[in-house]
Amino acid sequence: MIRILSSAVLYALALVLPADASAAGFAQREDVRAFIEEMHEKHGFDRTRLLRLFRQAQPQPKAIKAILPPKDPSVRSWHAYRARFVEPARIEGGQRFWEANRSTLETARRTYGVPEEIIVAIIGIETLYGRNMGRFPSLATLATLAFDYPPRADLFRRELEALLLLSNETGQNPLAYIGSYAGALGMPQFLPSSLRNWGVDFDGDGHVDLTASTADAIGSVANFLASHGWEADGPIVAAAAVTGDRYGELVDAGILPRFLPAEMEAYGVGPAVDAPQLPCALIDLATPNEATEYWLGYRNFYVITRYNRSSFYAMAVNVLSQELKAERTARLAAR
């Protein structure tokens, strides 16, 4: 989930696409030609080949429409977000995915220290276990966001560069990549830079394929989390209650774990009785017209937000993982 200021949204809406962009594609644009020259100078790409590719890539205005945040950020609801992702189809589908890939998931846990239920939950939330991997042409989508979406242009320009480098490394036609409206790829929805940095050949067939290889998807999710500091057997969250008027200082301090639960007491934060005395952050999960939930987010919670920089996302992964684990435990006991 990408969040931006409302003023940036208005700016983006005013500059979504040049009037002739759909007809001309990208190849005739000065900013695109400057990018092509940069790719030639930095990485040795052939200018003519890149021009040909961008001539074939057509702008994707639907990607910009999809990526814009809500006009009114106050409508964001943790309860609605949770209901969207922690629901019967993902729990039932997760049981089938877990059972079908139990050996691979166990190997990933032993290799990277990431529990099976966390890996299954992330793939379930991202693509419903590979059912919804996106239908946007990745090159055209990333070009649209890189050159026609100013609020996040730098990010998507880097990802466009990464996609072209990835295609060179794998020998795959850049026009063949299909993914989400944000350019994410495969079952775990890795951006191209993440695929290049943390994708792993977990099935041992000589290449990384996050679309067709469930093993590679599982291993890559585990590798991503481990590489960002996942602590094996470490806590994720603990419930908290707040009083007084100082706890907002901890919320404003961000989600990087830096306070012990005992230190939070001076700010009016009362953690659960058995909360681990480890560095954590105070996480607020708001729902309009309902009481805000407060949690202590530990290192592993923060690591999940490196996958998607949203506290809602990280908590949904945590909740779904617990539902998946409980359901699997019950089914195994009933056998």
Residues with catalytic annotation?
126
Residue whose entry in the numeric block shows the structure tokens 């350019």:
183
Q: Which helix (H) or strand (E) is 171 found in, with range?
A: none
Amino acid letter, 82:
R
Torsional sign, CA 107, 118, 89, 307: negative
For residues 315 and 327, what is the distance between their CA atoms, to the nearest angstrom?
18
- What is the Cα Rg of the chain in Å? 22
Q: Is 272 exposed, middle or buried (0-12, 13-18, 19+ CB in 10 A)?
A: middle
Longest dimension (CA), the chain: 65
For residues 184 and 63, what is the distance between their CA atoms, to the nearest angstrom?
12
For residues 267 and 95, what is the distance between their CA atoms, to the nearest angstrom?
41
Contact 302, 256 (CB under 8 A): yes
For residues 43 and 216, what is the distance between their CA atoms, to the nearest angstrom?
27
For residues 207 and 185, what is the distance between their CA atoms, to the nearest angstrom?
15
Token pair in block for residue 192: 């191209």
